[in-house]
Chains A and B, each alone.
Chain A
Amino acid sequence: MSFLGSIARHRESLAAWTMVAPALLVTLVFALYPVLDSFWLSLHHIFVGIPSLGRSFIGLENYFNLLHDPVAHQALLVTLAFVVLSTMLELACGLVIALVIHERFRGRGLVRAAILIPWAIPTVVASQLWRYIFNDQYGFANLVLFGDRVTEYIPWLAYPGVAFMIIVLADVWKTSCFAALLILAGLQVISDDLYDAAKVDGAGAWQRFWHITLPLLKPALLLALLFRTMDAFRVFDLVFVMTQGGPGDATQVLQFYGYQTLFTEGRLGYGSAVSVAVFLMILSLSLIYLRAIGSNLLERRRT
Chain B
Amino acid sequence: MNRRLFLALGIVSTVGLSLWPFLWFLLTSFKSQAEIEASPPTWWPSGSLSFYRAVLFDHHLFDYVANSVVVAGSTTLLALLIAIPAAYALARLTIPGKQGILAVLLCVSMFPQMAIAGPVWRLLDALGGLNHRWGVVLPYVALTLPLAIWILASFFKELPPELEDAARVDGCGPWTTLLRITLPLAAPGIFTAAILILIYAWNEFFFALLILTQPERQTLPVGIALFQGEFTMPWGELAAASVVATLPLIVVVLLCQRWIVSGLSAGAVKG
Contact = CB atoms under 8 A, between A and B. Distances in A.
B269 A129 contact: no
B118 A275 contact: yes
A15 B175 contact: yes
A185 interface: yes
Contacts of A301: 269
A233 B110 CA distance: 11
A12 B93 contact: yes
B95 interface: yes
Given A116-B253, A230-B110, A303 B142 contact: no
B174 A16 contact: yes
Interface string A89-107: 0000000110110010100
Nearest to A241: B225
B173 to A, nearest CB: 6
B99 interface: no
B235 interface: yes
B114 to A, nearest CB: 4
A159 to B, nearest CB: 19
By size class, the interface of chain B is 35 or more
A109 interface: yes
B138 A26 contact: yes
A34 B40 contact: no
Contacts of A197: none
Contacts of B262: 303
B181 to A, nearest CB: 15
A262 B117 contact: yes
A59 interface: no
Given A29-B142, A100-B10, A22 B220 contact: no
Interface in B1-41: 3, 7, 10-11, 14-15, 17-19, 21-22, 24-25, 28, 36-37, 39-41
A218 interface: no
A303 B269 contact: yes
Contacts of A195: none
B89 A115 contact: no
Given A105-B7, A303-B266, A122 B40 contact: no
Contacts of B14: 96-97, 100, 111, 115
Nearest to B37: A138
Interface in B220-271: 220-222, 224-225, 227, 235, 238-239, 242, 245-246, 249-250, 252-254, 257-258, 260-262, 264-266, 268-270
A31 B95 contact: no
Contacts of B89: 15-17, 19-20
B113 A121 contact: no
Contacts of B224: 122, 124-125, 128
A114 B10 CA distance: 13
Contacts of B239: 132
Interface stretch (B44-52, B55-63, B159-167, B202-210): B202-210
B41 A143 contact: yes
A261 to B, nearest CB: 10
B105 interface: yes
A11 B111 contact: no
B197 interface: no
Given A13-B96, A27-B105, A112-B257, A271 B118 contact: yes
Contacts of B270: 298
A26 B82 contact: yes
Contacts of B202: 122
Given A20-B101, A29-B142, A41-B118, A123 B205 contact: yes
A133 to B, nearest CB: 6
B1 to A, nearest CB: 12
19 contacts: A20-B101, A22-B81, A23-B149, A26-B141, A27-B145, A109-B257, A117-B250, A120-B246, A122-B224, A125-B245, A126-B21, A132-B235, A137-B39, A236-B113, A240-B205, A258-B114, A268-B118, A303-B154, A303-B158
Interface of B: 3, 7, 10-11, 14-15, 17-19, 21-22, 24-25, 28, 36-37, 39-41, 43, 81-83, 85-86, 88-90, 93-96, 101, 104-105, 108, 110-123, 138-139, 141-143, 145, 149, 154, 158, 173-175, 178, 199, 202-203, 205-206, 209-210, 220-222, 224-225, 227, 235, 238-239, 242, 245-246, 249-250, 252-254, 257-258, 260-262, 264-266, 268-270
Given A30-B120, A38-B119, A230-B110, 17 more contacts: A12-B174, A17-B95, A23-B86, A34-B116, A38-B115, A112-B261, A113-B257, A116-B260, A118-B22, A120-B250, A120-B252, A128-B225, A137-B39, A138-B235, A263-B210, A275-B115, A303-B262
